Amino acid sequence: MARAQVSEITLRVAYADTDRMGVAHHARYAVWLEMARTEHLRATGTSYREVEDAGLMLSVVALAVRYRAPARYDDLVRVRCWVREVASRRVSFGYAVERAQTGELLATATTDLIATDRRFSVTRVPDGLVRVLEPSPDPVRL
Amino acid sequence: MARAQVSEITLRVAYADTDRMGVAHHARYAVWLEMARTEHLRATGTSYREVEDAGLMLSVVALAVRYRAPARYDDLVRVRCWVREVASRRVSFGYAVERAQTGELLATATTDLIATDRRFSVTRVPDGLVRVLEPSPDPVRL
Amino acid sequence: MARAQVSEITLRVAYADTDRMGVAHHARYAVWLEMARTEHLRATGTSYREVEDAGLMLSVVALAVRYRAPARYDDLVRVRCWVREVASRRVSFGYAVERAQTGELLATATTDLIATDRRFSVTRVPDGLVRVLEPSPDPVRL
Amino acid sequence: MARAQVSEITLRVAYADTDRMGVAHHARYAVWLEMARTEHLRATGTSYREVEDAGLMLSVVALAVRYRAPARYDDLVRVRCWVREVASRRVSFGYAVERAQTGELLATATTDLIATDRRFSVTRVPDGLVRVLEPSPDPVRL
């Protein structure tokens, strides 16, 4: 992922994602961000499943979302994802959630993850992972 | 649970449970059934967490739900649960989902679970569990 | 969809889909079936969003799933969907959930839906919809 | 709710709430916060269902969660909720998520909601609602 440091996925707002307002429920965005983060890791040549199977877990310790416009049922939604910062025990990701057809910004978000072992003891992010998680400037204002 | 072989839980339909129709999404019922089953086990004097921590898993192999009336946002819903049948490797549960205040039947359901070890190999339901899972006649027509 | 009366979607098991057993939680399958059904309708030239915006709702009245093998985290899963039967007020769908890479059957399912207006009064499935919902023989044993 | 300006609910971590790590998935917390907020409103003498039925919606525009310790399967979790600030078009809530039996702090969170009509146009928070949403100092450090 030498150049394309901002990855993207596209998903469709499912009926089960909607709530009584007829739009995607705000809790679903946390799942979409996770899906985008997973594909971001895959695009760097690793996979989170392999990371976790090797005994390392990346646990979300902070989540912040700003909702700007509703995602409606059956909309195609694009989630862009990038690394904001990598420290020895923590990785921060940024996200832009957009209506795919118009590019309208629906939400921006950040998540901070820490590396732990299987017993949730904090550990170092392995060098191999640090190397591929190249930070990118924010492509949108968060 | 000598007498009260039909257990019950009451829950409130959360906003996140609703969909664009303004009623609880049908997939949520599977979660409610599971919550009722968990409390049914607890009422027998065991707990599913302990069962699983001891290395036994009860995996759902069949789920059947008949939806009769919608559960609306903020409704109180009662889920009644009972054991229908216990075999050496399989337990069947029945459920009635009702609007708590009126008793109106919202759904009926059955689930079949098999006992497996942690690698999903089928095993016997332990005698201690069989003893407490006393079958009851269906209190409603399923 | 003159020939391809069995549609299919592919999805990836997300971390949020998994449970403590490390596999996709059984309630998630109901959502996957719904996604497959939505795309099946789209493939016939209509869209469920348009159907519902026109005042008709298709509500699930029966769901039956047989789980045969677990879908693991990060697996690619294929859901095949077809119409089993169309009556004046009811449509039945069949589903096969498979591990995409191996074709292994993970689950089979059926759902029955009835047509209602916005107040949940049962109504007729419109002729235009009946015409495109062409039944297909079951491609797998349910 | 003259004195008890900090409300609380208790819930049990369901199997469906857990993920492959064996703990409650971080996205579920957004749902728990919403459940706590709903009960907070009810404790003030109003109900969000009535608010929405009257044509006013409170939409989440910002969500921030700090996860401090995992909530494990079958744990009892207490969510405390309070109003942090009320403005003419916006209400901010604070939350503390705790393990019920030990009081251990699992997460802290804030959400900002804006008042809109059914078409998502921003509107004023009605006086009647402002009056009952009495702000409280944060009972824990967020």
Q: Which amino acid is at D39?
A: E
Mean pLDDT of D52-74: 96
Q: Do B34 and C27 touch (CB under 8 A)?
A: yes
Q: Residue D131 — φ and ψ, nearest 5°? A: -60, -40
Q: What is the pLDDT of residues A102-126, one digit of tens each?
A: 999 999 999 999 999 999 999 999 9
Q: Please check the confidence at residue D78 and state whether its pLDDT lies above 70.
A: yes
Average pLDDT, chain D: 95
Count B/C contacts: CB-CB distance under 8 Å.
54
Annotated active-site residue in B17, B19, B53, B75: B19
D53, D59, D65, D95, best to mutate vs chain A, most A CBs in 10 Å: D65
Residue C4: the pLDDT is 55
Place of tokens 């404790």: D43
SS3 B124: coil
**Whole-number percent of chain A with pLDDT over 70:** 97
Q: What is the pLDDT of residues D14-61, one digit of tens each?
A: 999 999 999 999 999 999 999 999 999 999 999 999 999 999 999 999
Place of tokens 């129709």: B21
Residue A4: the pLDDT is 55
**Residues with Cβ within 8 Å of residue D34, at least 6 apart in sequence:** A27, B14, B15, B16, D60
Confidence of residue D4 (pLDDT cuts 50, 70, 90): low
Task: Provide the H-helix boundaries in chain D.
Answer: 28-43, 48-53, 127-132
Q: What is the DSSP secondary structure assignment for residue B16, as one 8-state letter?
A: G
Residue A2: the pLDDT is 45
**Residues with Cβ within 8 Å of residue A104, at least 6 apart in sequence:** A69, A98
Place of tokens 């002729």: C127
Cα separation, B12 vs B102, whole angstroms: 14
Count C/D contacts: CB-CB distance under 8 Å.
24
Contacts of A60 in chain D (CB under 8 A): 26, 67
Q: Please check the confidence at residue B73 and state whether its pLDDT lies above 50.
A: yes
Residue D30: the pLDDT is 98
Low-confidence ranges of chain C (pLDDT < 50): 1-3
Cα separation, B26 vs A84, whole angstroms: 39
Place of tokens 């939806």: B67
Q: Please check the confidence at residue D1 and state whether its pLDDT lies above 90.
A: no
Cα separation, C80 vs D8, whole angstroms: 45
Q: Is A75:A98 a contact under the CB 8 Å cutoff?
A: no
Q: What is the DSSP string of B23-81?
A: BB-TTHHHHHHHHHHHHHHHHTT--HHHHHHTT-EEEEEEEEEEE-SPPBTT-EEEEEE
Confidence of residue D115 (pLDDT cuts 50, 70, 90): very high
Confidence of residue B15 (pLDDT cuts 50, 70, 90): very high
Q: Residue B39 — φ and ψ, nearest 5°? A: -70, -30
Q: Do C66 and B66 touch (CB under 8 A)?
A: no
Better-predicted residue by pLDDT, B4 or D58: D58
Annotated active-site residue in C17, C19, C74, C138: C19
Cα separation, A135 vs B59, whole angstroms: 42
Whole-model pTM?
A: 0.97
Residue B1: the pLDDT is 45
Burial class (CB in 10 A: 0-12, 13-18, 19+), B103: exposed
Confidence of residue B3 (pLDDT cuts 50, 70, 90): very low
Among the partner residues A20, A21, A30, nearest to D26 by beta-carbon distance: A30
Q: What is the pLDDT of residues A67-79, one digit of tens each?
A: 999 999 999 999 9
Q: Is A39:A1 a contact under the CB 8 Å cutoff?
A: no
Residue B25: the pLDDT is 98
Residues of B with CB under 8 A from a CB of D: 12, 14-16, 30-31, 34-35, 38, 47-49, 73-74
SS3 C56: coil
Q: Is A24:A30 a contact under the CB 8 Å cutoff?
A: no
- Stated length of chain D: 142
Q: Residue C52 — φ and ψ, nearest 5°? A: -75, -35
Q: Is D57:D96 a contact under the CB 8 Å cutoff?
A: no
Q: Please check the confidence at residue B2 and state whether its pLDDT lies above 70.
A: no
D32, D60, D122, best to mutate vs chain A, most A CBs in 10 Å: D60
